[in-house]
Amino acid sequence: GLPDAAFWWKERATCCKVRARRFGSQRQLVVVEPSSTAGVAVLKLKNLPVNSFSLEFLTELIINLEKLENDKTFRGIIITSDCPKAFSAGVDLREICGKNPAHYTEYWKVLQDLWLRLYLSNLVLISAINGPCAAGGCLIPLTSDYRILADNPKCLIGLNETRLGISAPFWFKDPLVNIIGHRASEHALQLGLLFPPAEALQVGIVDKVVPKDQVQSTALSVMTQWLAIPDHARQLTKNMIRKPTADLLVKHRDTDIQNFVSFISRDSIQKSLQMYLAKLKQNKD
């Protein structure tokens, strides 16, 4: 059967704390502030320049989410970026290029942890997407309850993995299918589409598009609507809807790690990721 959720979280939390001690960074990569609305925290992603998912950043993010989840004064979180260039550039390519299988294993496990922490959160999660959001970066919006995107042509959003010569894992694909449907996902995933705001709204990958300076205030007013519902009823409903999707990862996470490590270790895959990273460095503004 599936591992008992409480036991599992306790074990993973200990791992995160050990890892956090290992990094011992002075930089604060995640900033949590109370909002003007009671019970609502604003969590700001601050891994400059583009909030790419380094192992250290993921660890800090999970620890902060866990603290909020366990703090009964909070009922909702608005997740946004404190980096002017991006909401998130997704997986930090330096974590999955030129490292060893043990590193890839650890990295993937932590990324899965983040997904589970977000997808099964009892809190209301609203993504206030105030910058570009690519591939793994969409993990946060796609596991949120509501997504608001800034109306700016630079704010592209989507799972563009195929453009890097890789494939999004099933647990990125499943929430996308749940949100935008099967046909639109087939199209978006195979072509690695990054949607500009109007198209993102039309396909349904975001729920609202507003001017950039209104993203935060809109997130707060949407949050107020969600918090008008009694927590227990909303949580039971959220769990009922999401559990089948979450169970697939809980059940298959070891196989998923093995598949990832063998795929990412291939020379051809390493080459295409290195080329993509080099191209990113050339195409600077």
Ligand X SMILES: CCCCC/C=C/C(=O)SCCNC(=O)CCNC(=O)[C@H](O)C(C)(C)COP(=O)(O)OP(=O)(O)OC[C@H]1O[C@@H](n2cnc3c(N)ncnc32)[C@H](O)[C@@H]1OP(=O)(O)O
52 binds ligand X (CB under 6 A): yes
Q: How far is the CB of 161 from ligand X (least distance, A)?
A: 5
160 binds ligand X (CB under 6 A): yes
Instruction: Looking at residues 241 to 260 of the shown chain, list those that interact with ligand X (rule: CB under 6 A).
Output: 260
The amino acid sitting at 242 is R
Selected from 19, 30, 90, 148, the binder of ligand X by CB under 6 A is: 90
The long-range contacts involving 104-107, CB below 8 angstroms and separated by at least 24 positions, are 104/260, 104/261, 104/264, 104/265, 105/257, 105/261, 106/55, 107/55
Span near ligand X by CB under 6 A; candidates 120-128, 130-138, 140-148, 214-222: 130-138
Per residue, the 3-state secondary structure of 234-280, as one string, reads HHHHHHHHHHHHHHHHHHHHHHHHHHHHHHHCCHHHHHHHHHHHHHH
3-state secondary structure (DSSP) of residue 146: strand
82 binds ligand X (CB under 6 A): no
72 binds ligand X (CB under 6 A): no
How many residues appear in the chain?
285
Token pair of 172, please?
């990125």
Span near ligand X by CB under 6 A; candidates 117-125, 128-136, 203-211, 243-251: 128-136
58 binds ligand X (CB under 6 A): no
197 binds ligand X (CB under 6 A): no
Q: How far is the CB of 126 from ligand X (least distance, A)?
A: 21
For 9, residues 6+ apart whose C-beta sits below 8 A from its C-beta are 66
Secondary element (H or E) of residue 22: helix 5-23
Ranked by CB distance to ligand X, the top (closest) residue is 90
Selected from 10, 27, 67, 94, the binder of ligand X by CB under 6 A is: 94
How many amino acids of this chain bind ligand X (CB under 6 A)?
28
CA-based nearest residue to 140, from 86, 182, 189: 86
In the complex, which residues of this chain contact ligand X (CB under 6 A)? 49-50, 52, 85-86, 89-94, 132, 134-136, 160-161, 164, 166-167, 169, 260, 263-264, 280-281, 284-285
